[in-house]
Amino acid sequence: MPPTAAVRLEAAGCVTAFGNAEATHAALLRGERALALAPVLGSDGGESVPLALAGGRSLDETAPPNWLPVLQALRATIPADDWGAANRPVFVTSSNFGVGSLYAFRRHGDPAHLPFGTPAGCVEWLARELGWGRNVTTVSHACVSAHLGLMLASRAIEAGLAERALVFTFDFISPFVTGGFHALKILNAGFPAPYADRPTGSIGLGDGAGFAVLGDRRGDFAIVAQSVHNEMHHFTANRADGAGFAACLEPLRTAAAGRRLWLKGHGTGTIEAGRLESAALAAAFPGAPLVSWKGSLGHTLGSCGLVELAVAAAALRSGRAPGTVGGVAPCFVPQVALEPFAINDCDAVLCASNAFGGAHGAFLLSHA
Amino acid sequence: MPERYVHAIRLEDPGSEEPAATRERLKDGFPRGATRRMTQLGLLVGTTLDGLAPRTDDAVVYASSYAESRALEGYLESFPTASPTLFQTSIHPSAVQQSLIGRQHPVGEFFPLTGRGHLVAQALQTAMLARAPRVLVCGGEERGTWLLERGYASARTFAFAMALGAAAEGAVARVALERSGEPARELSLEQFFDRLRARATIDQMAAPGVRLTLTWL
């Protein structure tokens, strides 16, 4: 199957609990952890779990959602263009969209929450607020959503259907999603330690939003290869032989040949997925240092692919990659980097994400 | 702008059938025991996909505006003791995943899309840009309950799946997207389903800058 052609990254940015991409990169280099223990259901209480909220907002949903100002501030950093016009498509990606509003409606009965609750309603509202036209495609594939947005935008440019494309992603946590991961028992009182070989796993959840402007001419970075794979083995588990991870990475090995790489893995802090992912990455790219940043930022869900792309781009610009904040030895594979390291001699970074259903997404980001 | 040929179509139009009746009607088409936790939309989408005999080198495009409304309603009702099963079932692409996980059927590219009036054109464009030799485009909705009362779920249950390829030989229809400067109109998933069911031609603006034509051969 022919790969998606290389595309230029004209601009990228993100918001996390630390702030923008540069602030996030700097905080990660300092080894700071944005996650803090907070009640899993917000004002409804429950066990305290690691959460990282952006912009000082509350976990409890408001109407309109209290994360709109965060997105408006991010919108102000996107290069100006006629976004949403016929040849300037917008690809919006998320896992949760405004579904926290449905929780708020169910909990409090206030119908003011409802218009933000469905993906279509939420994105239409957001497009109006952010000043986009009507050419907006919405992708929803849980935590690989942003990867799919990048792939669709790249293909639209390659096919001549767009001159530039905006991929925009957001996921703001709410009791809807914290309650769900808590019910699955992987969100608990423990802080995540990605790739650590320990008896019990745990994740943290964080707010995230990001954007990427793709084109075929400008920009100092290029997305040189992209890959996706869907195991369809189990909703919340991967094939025990790691074949799903390997299948997603295989097409990228060719594109990475001859390059000096570092690896930004998914690394949420769960045990089996961390073991399988790190083993697959180590096998496919021997010796390349591997990091995850979700031990600090939390898992930003459907936005993680783009949020971490923006941080990785900041790292490439600075020549220094943050280590695996929250990670502890022993790790599943020796190439897990717990401390920051120099990347001046690296050509590219491979960024990978995973999702429910054994979904995998990965891309190779390099200097253009 | 690209074109593809439609080689097979499968439709499910159960009317007012309740989820339990759908499960009873369709359960023999799924692995034993697999249907117990499947949603109505999962059963219907899975049945239409099965009719196309998915292959591992297919790409799959899934379109739904509301997706798993019943699971979503049930999950919200489960608080404060949130249901882990309903949480994972309520995610948008769950209908396709329920079916393919039940059959342990991996796929490379899987693009779940959502939206409203431009969703059909966007799903077809996604299919036409896919790299796979054959692309399965599927979609559907399930009738909600209390979310429907508020206007935030589908009023109708239906599902479809169609196999798209590049070869004209043996095709039943041709679908094409052309660039046009005419004002965009809307074509909902339900309207598209009804056109498929009636084998009706489509020739209209269906997204900004995009004219959709569906011609039966």
Interval A149-153 mean pLDDT: 98
**Reported ipTM exceeds the 0.95 cut:** yes
Interval A239-259 mean pLDDT: 96
Kindly provide the residue ranges of all beta strands, DSSP E only, lying in chain A, ordered along the sequence: 7-16, 19-20, 36-39, 48-52, 90-93, 136-139, 164-171, 205-206, 208-215, 221-230, 261-264, 290-291, 320-321, 341-342, 348-355, 359-367
What is the C-alpha separation between A86 and A94, in angstroms, rounded?
22
Q: How do residues B145-157 score in pLDDT, each as one tens digit? A: 999 999 999 999 9
Task: Check whether A2 has a pLDDT greater than 70.
Answer: no
Closest in A84, A120, A228 to B115, CB measured: A120
Task: Check whether A136 has a pLDDT greater than 60.
Answer: yes
Three-class secondary structure of residue A9 per DSSP: strand
| Residue A113: per-residue pLDDT | 98
Q: How do residues A79-96 score in pLDDT, each as one tens digit? A: 999 999 989 999 999 999
Closest in A118, A120, A231 to B106, CB measured: A231
Question: Which residues in chain A touch residue B147, judged by CB atoms under 8 angstroms apart?
Answer: 102
Domain boundaries, chain B: 8-172
What is the C-alpha separation between A326 and A301, in angstroms, rounded?
18
Six-digit token string for A144:
């690989």
A to B CB pairs, distance under 8 Å: 161
Task: Check whether B33 has a pLDDT greater than 90.
Answer: no
> How would you classify the pairing of strands B173-179 and B210-216?
antiparallel
Task: Check whether A284 has a pLDDT greater than 70.
Answer: yes
* % of chain A at pLDDT higher than 90: 96
Please give the CATH architecture assigned to the domain spanning B8-172. Answer: 3-Layer(aba) Sandwich (3.40)
Q: How do residues A259-283 score in pLDDT, each as one tens digit? A: 999 999 999 999 999 999 999 999 9
Q: How do residues B52-94 score in pLDDT, each as one tens digit? A: 999 999 999 999 999 999 999 999 999 999 999 999 999 999 9
Report yes or no: A9 and A214 within 8 Å, Cβ to Cβ: yes
Report yes or no: A336 and A290 within 8 Å, Cβ to Cβ: yes
Instruction: State whether residue B87 sits within 8 Å of chain A by CB.
Output: yes
Q: List, as ranges, residues 194-253 from A with C-beta within 8 Å of B.
A: 228-236, 244, 247
Residue A103 — pLDDT band, cuts 50, 70, 90? very high
Question: Which residues in chain B touch residue A133, judged by CB atoms under 8 angstroms apart?
Answer: 208
Contact B110 A141 (CB under 8 A): yes
Instruction: State whether residue A108 sits within 8 Å of chain B by CB.
Output: no
Residue-range domains of chain A with CATH: 7-215 (3.40.47.10), 221-367 (3.40.47.10)
Closest in B72, B89, B209 to A86, CB measured: B209
Interval A36-44 mean pLDDT: 97
Q: How do residues A45-87 score in pLDDT, each as one tens digit? A: 999 999 999 989 999 999 999 999 999 999 999 999 999 998 9
Report yes or no: A74 and A211 within 8 Å, Cβ to Cβ: yes
Q: Look at the block and give the residue holding tokens 């790409």.
A: B59
What is the C-alpha separation between B105 and B92, in angstroms, rounded?
19
Contact A120 B108 (CB under 8 A): no
Six-digit token string for A119:
């993906």
Q: Quick check: pTM over 0.95?
A: yes
